[in-house]
Amino acid sequence: MHEFEFIDWIKTYLGNKGNHDQIPVGIGDDMAVIDFRGGHLLLGSDMTIQGVHFEESQATAEQVGHKALGRCLSDCAAMGGEPLAAIISVAKPVSLSEEWLKGLYYGMGELADRYRCPIVGGDTSGSPERLVIDVALLGRCESNPPILRSGARVGDTLYVTGPLGGSILGKHLSFEPRIPQATLMVRNLPVHAMVDISDGLSSDLNHLCKESGCGAELWVDRLEAVISHDARRLAEKTGNLPLVHALDDGEDFELLAAIGLPPDQLPSLGENIVLYPIGMITSERTVSLVYPDGTRSALTPHGFRHF
Amino acid sequence: MHEFEFIDWIKTYLGNKGNHDQIPVGIGDDMAVIDFRGGHLLLGSDMTIQGVHFEESQATAEQVGHKALGRCLSDCAAMGGEPLAAIISVAKPVSLSEEWLKGLYYGMGELADRYRCPIVGGDTSGSPERLVIDVALLGRCESNPPILRSGARVGDTLYVTGPLGGSILGKHLSFEPRIPQATLMVRNLPVHAMVDISDGLSSDLNHLCKESGCGAELWVDRLEAVISHDARRLAEKTGNLPLVHALDDGEDFELLAAIGLPPDQLPSLGENIVLYPIGMITSERTVSLVYPDGTRSALTPHGFRHF
């Protein structure tokens, strides 16, 4: 079983263990939803490992801390939620200096401060080879129900919050989680489904369609506008089309949303948020690229899998 | 800085990052306390690493899963809380078989079921060398306020919920988190402070006294009753006194509680819970061993430190 098949197995096996009465959404979305005293809590975690999620030679300690917490905050944005508190487990190799370790916490602390997410505890351990950081985030949805992957409706327009591809050149360490944007979106727009683009657009769109029981088409002419500068730079090195990097690269941490309004009816949400229309939700359970001349090709998910 | 000094540094640095208005208890107790809609939420995490917290040759997959989740459940017991949901991040080396990985989830699932703790999400990743599991637990205190390390009062009797020492011979993989016992204790007894014995009695008692601004004396004649069979077996190998293993070994996951009732006034809480009196809280800020002949010696914390 590869990673996604194994997650399906876990979901089935654990689904009847313990009491799920207060768990409207468990494994399979960006975060779980837990009912508590009439409110919606969100719970999720992300593990960040030296040599897997960052290379020590290419990232500062502050950037690693930023990424470790930012990944969880991005999940919270994708649920339309706000952070309540985070906890951090860190396993530290002997070789890591005290200064570097402090830098890691500076990176997390700065982001925690900006998004009003207190870091309230965690665990410390030794690690024989590598730095491992696990961040667990508790969030809440107070003024709106959580936005799930499963809510997309046929006819919804697909929007992304920013350019995609080539994040390995730097953005994966410096992205800003789209929490303010998500808050504005869920308050002002009919957002039916949302996911953050962590595995890659082709892969995360596939997850959204699968959970919603629908398909999608992506408009190649519109995708041109969301091919990032870094996707173009990386394409020069790899020989791939820049579009391929925009579709398949992971860790952009932009939001992909299915919204019940076409581009010409979308109100402006202010200068800090741009929504790029890139396609629409369809009833056929396939995901296609539609070219300007009307031809179509199937889009195969090619995002990153850990195993 | 060693591990505990670094935790103090983290606590100070992160203490003013983000909004702590709803965080009555942050870093430094068994779990953090978060106020939400008039209720108390608990949040904590524990990381379990191959070669650090278990040896693959000496533990089954099920035992590793049991320990990884059980450590968090033990923290929840120490707060007088009940589990609400857990999330699990797993980093898996290629060498680990699918069968072993399933066994890990069987171990967690069985415990999750017994203590009504649904596992609702998490993260999966590849890991170059070692299995790493991080469990984050969300708990709640509904019928009582959380029991902190800081609430011990001079004159309180110190009790433990079971025998101590030598857990490396097996108990560290098979212990039962003391959640039902803690629930009974906080409902029926004036429990002023509590901690689970994970670092070792001498070390965890030191934490409790430091947080409560007091000291303690331990009665050597009473400690005889809590020297475990495994502490005696291990002492034969190491040449240490069995008492030293009971005082300094970690990972027994019994509870240490400061309760405002002496042993002769303690009501029975039923056959599933035995509370062993081992000492009392004092105003002098030292921790001493008191021998049957009245002599005293200082007890130095010797529990496990990761760095």
DSSP string, chain A: --HHHHHHHHHHHHTTSS--TT-SB-BTBSSEEEEETTEEEEEEEEEEEBTTTB-GGG--HHHHHHHHHHHHHHHHHHTT-EEEEEEEEEEE-TTS-HHHHHHHHHHHHHHHHHTT--EEEEEEEE-SS--EEEEEEEEEESSSPPPPGGG--TTPEEEESS-BS-GGGTHHHHPPP-HHHHHHHHHHS-EEEEEE-SS-HHHHHHHHHHHHT-EEEEEHHHHGGGB-HHHHHHHHHH-S-HHHHHHH------EEEEESS-GGGPPP--TT---EEEEEEESSS-EEEE-TTS-EEE---------
pLDDT band, residue B132 (cuts 50/70/90): very high
Q: What is the pLDDT of residues A95-147, one digit of tens each?
A: 899 999 999 999 999 999 999 999 999 999 999 899 999 999 999 998 889 99
Q: Can you give the pLDDT at residue B223?
A: 98
Q: Can you give the pLDDT at residue B2?
A: 85
Q: Which residue has the tokens 């208005």?
A: B21
Q: Can you give the pLDDT at residue A231?
A: 98
Asked whether residue A87 carries a pLDDT value surpassing 90, the answer given is: yes
Q: Extract the tokens encoding B124.
A: 């999966």
Q: Which residues pair with B83 in a beta bridge?
A: B139
B-chain residues near A306 (CB < 8 A): 92, 124-126
Q: Extract the tokens encoding A131.
A: 């730095």
Interface A–B counts its CB contacts (< 8 A) at: 251
Q: Can you give the pLDDT at residue B219?
A: 98
Q: What is the pLDDT of residues A139-173, one digit of tens each?
A: 999 888 999 999 999 999 999 999 999 999 999 99
Which one of B113, B125, B304 would you mutate to disrupt binding with A, by most A Cβ within 10 Å of its Cβ?
Answer: B125
How much of chain A exceeds pLDDT 90, in percent?
90
> What residue type is assigned to position A159 of the chain?
Y
Name the B residues in 148-177 with CB < 8 Å from any A CB: none
> What average pLDDT does the segment B38-45 reach?
97
Name the A residues in 120-149 with CB < 8 Å from any B CB: 120-130, 132, 134, 136, 138, 140
Q: Can you give the pLDDT at residue A177?
A: 98
- In whole angstroms, give the CA distance from residue A264 to residue B127: 46
- By C-alpha distance, the chain B residue nearest A98 is B1
A19 and B91 in contact by Cβ < 8 A? no
- By C-alpha distance, the chain A residue nearest B126 is A306
Round to the nearest angstrom and report the end-to-end CA distance of chain B.
Answer: 8
Q: Which residues pair with B287 in a beta bridge?
A: B216
**Ranges A8-22, A179-193, B108-122: which has the least confidence:** A8-22
Upper half-sphere CA count for residue A240 (Cβ side, 13 Å)? 18
Q: Which of A187, A193, A121 is nearest to A158 (CA)?
A: A193
How much of chain B exceeds pLDDT 70, in percent?
99
Question: A84 near A139, Cβ under 8 Å?
Answer: yes
Name the B residues in 253-292 with CB < 8 Å from any A CB: none
Asked whether residue B6 carries a pLDDT value surpassing 70, the answer given is: yes
Distance from CA of A200 to the nearest CA of B (A): 16
Q: Can you give the pLDDT at residue A1?
A: 81
Q: What is the pLDDT of residues A218-269, one digit of tens each?
A: 999 999 999 999 999 999 999 999 999 999 999 999 999 999 999 999 999 9
Asked whether residue A88 carries a pLDDT value surpassing 80, the answer given is: yes
Out of A36, A85, A124, the one facing B306 most closely (by C-beta) is: A124
Q: For residue A46, which phi and psi values (nearest 5 degrees)?
A: -140, 135
Q: What is the pLDDT of residues A32-43, one digit of tens each?
A: 999 999 999 999
B9 and A102 in contact by Cβ < 8 A? yes
Q: Which residues contact B208 (CB under 8 A, 6 or more apart)?
A: B149, B152, B193, B195, B216, B256, B258
Q: What is the DSSP string of A153-215?
A: -TTPEEEESS-BS-GGGTHHHHPPP-HHHHHHHHHHS-EEEEEE-SS-HHHHHHHHHHHHT-E
Query: Exposed e or buried b for every residue in B164-175, given b needs 16+ CB within 10 A?
Result: bbbbebebbbeb
Q: Which residues pair with A216 in a beta bridge?
A: A281, A287
pLDDT band, residue B181 (cuts 50/70/90): very high
Q: Which of B306, B301, B74 is nearest to B207 (CA)?
A: B301
pLDDT band, residue B176 (cuts 50/70/90): very high
A-chain residues near B51 (CB < 8 A): 128
B121 and A14 in contact by Cβ < 8 A? no
* Average pLDDT across chain A, whole number: 95
> What average pLDDT does the segment B27-46 reach?
96
pLDDT band, residue A175 (cuts 50/70/90): very high
pLDDT band, residue A56 (cuts 50/70/90): confident
Question: B161 near B275, Cβ under 8 Å?
Answer: yes
Q: Which of B55, B18, B41, B47 is nearest to B123 (CA)?
A: B47
pLDDT band, residue B19 (cuts 50/70/90): confident
Out of B47, B113, B121, the one facing A44 most closely (by C-beta) is: B121
- By C-alpha distance, the chain A residue nearest B9 is A102
Q: For residue A278, which phi and psi values (nearest 5 degrees)?
A: -130, -5
pLDDT band, residue B286 (cuts 50/70/90): very high
A18 and B102 in contact by Cβ < 8 A? no
On whether any CB of chain A is under 8 Å from the CB of B113, the answer is: yes
Q: pTM (2 decimals)?
A: 0.95
ipTM score: 0.94
A120 and B13 in contact by Cβ < 8 A? no
pLDDT band, residue A302 (cuts 50/70/90): confident
Q: Which residue has the tokens 């035995």?
A: B274
B134 and A129 in contact by Cβ < 8 A? no
Out of B98, B102, B120, the one facing A26 most closely (by C-beta) is: B120
On whether any CB of chain B is under 8 Å from the CB of A23, the answer is: yes
- In whole angstroms, give the CA distance from residue B248 to residue B166: 9
Q: Which residues pair with B126 in a beta bridge?
A: B92
pLDDT band, residue A25 (cuts 50/70/90): very high
> What average pLDDT does the segment B170-191 reach?
97
A22 and B119 in contact by Cβ < 8 A? no
A-chain residues near B32 (CB < 8 A): 85, 87, 120-121
- In whole angstroms, give the CA distance from residue B235 to residue A299: 65
- Long-range contacts from B179-183, C-beta under 8 angstroms, 24+ separation: B179/B73, B179/B76, B179/B77, B179/B82, B179/B83, B179/B115, B180/B272, B180/B273, B181/B77, B181/B255, B181/B269, B181/B272, B181/B273, B182/B77, B182/B78, B182/B80, B182/B81, B182/B147, B182/B255, B183/B80, B183/B82
pLDDT band, residue A282 (cuts 50/70/90): very high
- In whole angstroms, give the CA distance from residue B47 to residue B68: 7
A19 and B116 in contact by Cβ < 8 A? yes
> What average pLDDT does the segment A48-62 reach?
93
On whether any CB of chain A is under 8 Å from the CB of B17, the answer is: yes
Q: Can you give the pLDDT at residue B122?
A: 92
B109 and A53 in contact by Cβ < 8 A? no
Asked whether residue B304 carries a pLDDT value surpassing 70, the answer given is: no
Q: Can you give the pLDDT at residue B206?
A: 96
A-chain residues near B43 (CB < 8 A): 85, 87, 120-121, 136, 138
A-chain residues near B118 (CB < 8 A): 14, 17-20, 23, 26
On whether any CB of chain B is under 8 Å from the CB of A119, the answer is: yes
Q: Which residues pair with B134 in a beta bridge?
A: B47, B89
CA B66 from chain centre, in angstroms, equals 15
On whether any CB of chain B is under 8 Å from the CB of A112, the answer is: yes
On whether any CB of chain A is under 8 Å from the CB of B19, the answer is: yes
Distance from CA of A268 to the nearest CA of B (A): 29
- By C-alpha distance, the chain A residue nearest B125 is A306
**Ranges A29-43, B2-16, B20-34: which has the least confidence:** B2-16
B124 and A36 in contact by Cβ < 8 A? no
